[in-house]
Amino acid sequence: MMPVVNCPNCRKTLRLPAGAQSIRCTTCNAVSRISNPTSFPPPLPSSSLPSPGPRSSYAPPPPPTGGSSPLVYSPALPSAHGPKRAVICGISYRDSCYELEGCIKDAKYMKYLLVNRFNFPESSILMLTDEETDPSKIPTIRNLRRAMTWLVHGCQPGDSLVFHFSGHGSQIRDIDGDEVDGYDETLCPLDFETEGMLVDDELNATLVRPLPCGARLHAIIDCCHSGTALDLPFVCRMDRNGRYGWEDHNPPSGIWKGTNGGEVISISGCDDHQNSADTSALAEVISAGAMTYSFIQAIERGAGATYGSLLNAMRNAIHNADTEIDGAPLTTLLIMLLTGGNEVRSLTQEPQLSSSEAFDVYSKPFYL
């Protein structure tokens, strides 16, 4: 098997040709000098990583002794590779001070929706959660990378793919000049404090750019700072009255962020500068991600005919959940809970739509 290394800059896994003394990362263009091709560079210190927002942070177990992993990674992934397949990831970060209650429920709800509403075969859905007993299905950064590669590998015209992530998201300083606000958006795997985060550049390179003509991918991202989590070229800006326009987010550097002819549409929990809530406000009793729950609710109530009607229904559900309890807005109480009661401020969450191409959101039918 060809040896691999991790890019020390963006953490992408790179296959090393035999005898190579250096390798350039295809995502960030950083050049790595190779001293021991079969080993991985040391993990980034946790002090160099920003703390994610309210949906955030995992306290990892002590590192294994002797340089070996405590998990034996099975190469087995779902063998069924039909025209509909999905990767669903829900991370609770349990036993940490940033534990989330709703993310694994989000994953289970999403699987139920795909199987029962959109006819996805269960055998073609790969679930990654931190309650899994199979080490290959625990949502570490390594397993997430394998799962994303599996999802798009061998993709053909007519295929419908879904990538769903419910957990913590964050931002890091952009180093390649392709972000208008100067920050890359990230997803936080279970082991992000020791192994790093999944940066939007890598998500784009893995999930978006390989997609061939006639294939389509929906990314449903329920975490903080997720508006442009896939770095797609076009972002839909919609006001409270449903009026919208598309922003061109093609980077000035000229780096292509679109597909290889396919179509990618991302529906995310909030804008890049916002936080996503883990709350029981929408589900009444159970805790769930506000975005995932409002997404499923809109479809089940018949509001998912077009992308415009779906996005409006999701936003209205979240806005209407901002009711008062004992005179305080629900979202304010949520912030007080997350900050130990020492901070009172409004939590604004606006689900976002981005795409590999611009389209009329009120005439384009939504389907998976």
Question: Would you say residue 315 lies in a domain?
Answer: yes
Whether 224 is a known active-site residue: answer: yes
Burial class (CB in 10 A: 0-12, 13-18, 19+), 62: exposed
Question: Would you say residue 77 lies in a domain?
Answer: no
H-state helical runs in 127-210: 141-152, 192-195, 200-203
Residue 138: both structure tokens together: 């625990």
pLDDT at 263: 97
Whether 97 is a known active-site residue: answer: no
Query: Which is it for the CA torsion 268, 27, 217, 308, positive or negative?
Result: positive
pLDDT tens-digit readout, 273-291: 655 554 444 444 455 677 8
Q: Using alpha carbons, select from 317, 12, 267, 313 the residue that is nearest to residue 162.
A: 267
Burial class (CB in 10 A: 0-12, 13-18, 19+), 34: middle
Question: Would you say residue 367 lies in a domain?
Answer: no
pLDDT tens-digit readout, 207-218: 999 999 999 999
Question: Would you say residue 156 lies in a domain?
Answer: yes
Residues 33 and 87 in one domain: no
Residue 10's pLDDT band, with cuts at 50, 70 and 90, is low
Domain containing 157 equals: 83-355
Q: Residues for the chain: how many in total?
A: 368
Quote the CA–CA distance of 155 and 212 in Å, as a whole number.
7
Quote the CA–CA distance of 110 and 295 in Å, as a whole number.
10
Rg (CA), the chain: 20
Domain count, the chain: 2
Question: Would you say residue 58 lies in a domain?
Answer: no
Q: Which amino acid is at 60?
A: P
Residues 265 and 215 in one domain: yes
Residues 91 and 13 in one domain: no
130 Cβ contact partners less than 8 Å away, ≥ 6 residues apart: 91, 92, 93, 94, 104, 138, 139, 190
Residues 140 and 265 in one domain: yes
What value does the mean pLDDT of the chain take? Answer: 76
How large is the average pLDDT for residues 308-320?
89
- Whether the CB-CB separation of 166 and 91 falls below 8 Å is answered with yes
Residues 90 and 24 in one domain: no
Residue 294: both structure tokens together: 């409002």
3-class DSSP assignment, residue 330:
helix
Lowest mean pLDDT among 3-7, 10-14, 285-289, 336-340: 336-340
How large is the average pLDDT for residues 264-268?
93
Quote the CA–CA distance of 223 and 270 in Å, as a whole number.
8
Residue 225's pLDDT band, with cuts at 50, 70 and 90, is confident
Cβ neighbour number for residue 310 with a 10 Å cutoff:
21
Residues 37 and 87 in one domain: no
pLDDT at 139: 96
pLDDT at 249: 86
- Whether the CB-CB separation of 272 and 171 falls below 8 Å is answered with yes
Quote the CA–CA distance of 228 and 232 in Å, as a whole number.
7
Query: Which is it for the CA torsion 301, 161, 293, 295, positive or negative?
Result: negative
Bigger pLDDT: 339 vs 294: 294
Q: Using alpha carbons, select from 24, 365, 253 the residue that is nearest to residue 231.
A: 253
In the set 89, 224, 236, 270, the catalytic residue is 224
Lowest mean pLDDT among 18-27, 152-161, 194-203, 227-236: 18-27
pLDDT at 21: 55
pLDDT at 33: 60
61-70, 97-106, 204-213 — most confident range: 204-213
Asked if pLDDT for residue 120 goes beyond 90, the answer is yes
Residues 234 and 349 in one domain: yes
Residues 29 and 91 in one domain: no
Residues 95 and 22 in one domain: no
Q: How many CA atoms lie within 13 A of 33 on its CB side?
A: 1
pLDDT at 270: 73
pLDDT at 272: 56
Residues 147 and 238 in one domain: yes
Residues 206 and 139 in one domain: yes
What CATH code is carried by the domain that includes residue 251?
3.40.50.12660
Question: Would you say residue 176 lies in a domain?
Answer: yes
Question: Would you say residue 52 lies in a domain?
Answer: no
3-class DSSP assignment, residue 84:
strand
Residues 32 and 87 in one domain: no
| pTM above threshold 0.85 | no
Burial class (CB in 10 A: 0-12, 13-18, 19+), 132: middle
Question: Would you say residue 54 lies in a domain?
Answer: no
As a dihedral over the C-alpha atoms of residue 63, residue 69, residue 71, residue 77, rounded to 10 degrees, the angle is 130
Quote the CA–CA distance of 278 and 334 in Å, as a whole number.
9
Residue 256: both structure tokens together: 């292509």
Bigger pLDDT: 59 vs 359: 359
pLDDT at 96: 82
Listed as own residue / partner, the contacts of 6-12 with beta carbons closer than 8 Å and 24 or more positions apart are 6/40, 6/41, 7/32, 8/32, 8/41, 9/175, 10/199, 10/201, 10/202, 11/44, 11/141, 11/195, 11/196, 11/197, 11/199, 11/202, 12/202, 12/205
In the set 168, 218, 225, 270, the catalytic residue is 168
